[in-house]
Amino acid sequence: MDKKWQFPHRRWNPLRQSWVLVSPQRTERPWQGEVGQKAAPSGLAYDPKCYLCPGNQRAGGAVNPAYEGIFSFINDYAALLPDSPDLPQSSENAAPASPLLVAEPARGLCKVVCFHPDHSLTLARMTQPEIRRVVDTWTQEYEDMAGLDWIKYVQVFENRGAMMGASNPHPHGQIWSSSFVPDEPVAEVAAQRQHLARTGHCLLCDYLTAEEAAQKNEPARIIFQNEHFMALVPWWAIWPFEVLLVSRRHLGSMPELNGDERDGLADALKRITTRFDNLFQTSFPYTMGFHQTPTDGEAHPESHFHAHFYPPLLRSATVRKFMVGFEMLAMPQRDITPEDAAQRLRDCTEEHFWPRA
């Protein structure tokens, strides 16, 4: 590792147009804070108490079918609803609102996607063909939701593990589509649009080229790549083992992936989640989500399909990174460098430590 990166410095995030503070020397500090529990994969293929297992009753009263593949349904406790009444300040008789007290109705459609009927599995322990079927389901759901003229954005994501707030260990993810484009995609679209206007090039296409060139002369941040996707710890990573998964071809959303690229995405998801689990020999927690072209009816030549993995683990399976203090009040900060994190993930095998029965 170049010694210059072992001292405090800031790195620029071109996707968010913001800085992150890197403080490698802090890895030496003693830890007497919270220590969590190591999460092992579930040994139950079927849990009669699980509200996502086939044939079981969900908390809202509906009964799941005895599904044998993938099962998706409208979230019983959705954060967004298709019909949302006007707010009081929107009515004709409402008093003029202060420009500092602004609100508007928010509509949406939220779905849950169960990846597999086997309660004990995760993406890391599923096969590549099984994950490919999940990719196909995500793609179809995106197309269906994007076909609604009032949906402006479709967010596909997975919260993995209790440490990331997952309410159920059954292998599943969510899709929230909304009548507005949320803040994170808005920021990324703006940054990519500005880069395209300034250079005539796609920001993430240029970034992949820069990373491939950089690894010839300095420690690599690239973890692995296949024919269609590159997985790397981004230059600007905030979370300790944050990963950016980027399509090598310039495209905006899942429906634009051809068959081979869908296979490539399934392969990449299998490989990175397996490496995560093997890093600390645990069922690795994370939040993962895809950023795709907004469905707002506008042209988005700047948009480049990618996924973010935000895992909280820092030193071990039981010590997590907290976003507090300076991170909340000033700017994001990380301890281990992205180069060190990438090396540790590269060193992990892609044969899962917990063999599937």
Q: Is 308 a catalytic residue?
A: no
User: Does a structural domain hold residue 6?
Assistant: no
Q: What's the domain count of the chain?
A: 1
Residue 174's CATH number: 3.30.428.10
- pLDDT over 60 at 136, yes or no: yes
Distance CA 193, CA 205 (A): 13
Burial of 65 (0-12, 13-18, 19+ CB in 10 A): exposed
175 is in which domain, residue-wise? 13-85+103-346
User: Does a structural domain hold residue 356?
Assistant: no
pTM over 0.85: yes
User: Does a structural domain hold residue 334?
Assistant: yes
User: Does a structural domain hold residue 43?
Assistant: yes
Helices (H), the chain: 128-146, 183-199, 203-214, 259-280, 326-329, 338-346
Identity (one letter) of the amino acid at 131? I
Q: Mapped to the 3 state alphabet, what secondary structure does 14-31 carry? A: CCCCEEEEECHHHHHCCC
- pLDDT over 90 at 303, yes or no: yes
Kindly indicate the confidence band of residue 223, based on its pLDDT and cuts at 50, 70 and 90.
very high
User: Does a structural domain hold residue 1?
Assistant: no
Cβ partners under 8 Å of residue 184, min gap 6: 291
Average pLDDT taken over every residue of the chain: 91
Give the model's pLDDT for residue 82: 94
Tokens of 310: 């935000």
Cβ partners under 8 Å of residue 58, min gap 6: 51, 52, 64, 76
Give the model's pLDDT for residue 316: 83
Instruction: Assign 145 to helix, strand or coil.
Output: helix
User: Does a structural domain hold residue 162?
Assistant: yes
* Helix 203-214 × helix 183-199 angle, to 10°: 80
Higher-confidence residue of 316 and 338: namely: 338
Active site residue: 116, 170, 172, 291, which one?
172
Which DSSP string do the residues of 69-97 spell out, in sequence order?
S-EEEE-TT-SSBS--PPPGGGSTTSPPP
Instruction: Assign 155 to helix, strand or coil.
Output: strand
User: Does a structural domain hold residue 167?
Assistant: yes
Kindly indicate the confidence band of residue 217, based on its pLDDT and cuts at 50, 70 and 90.
confident
User: Does a structural domain hold residue 48?
Assistant: yes
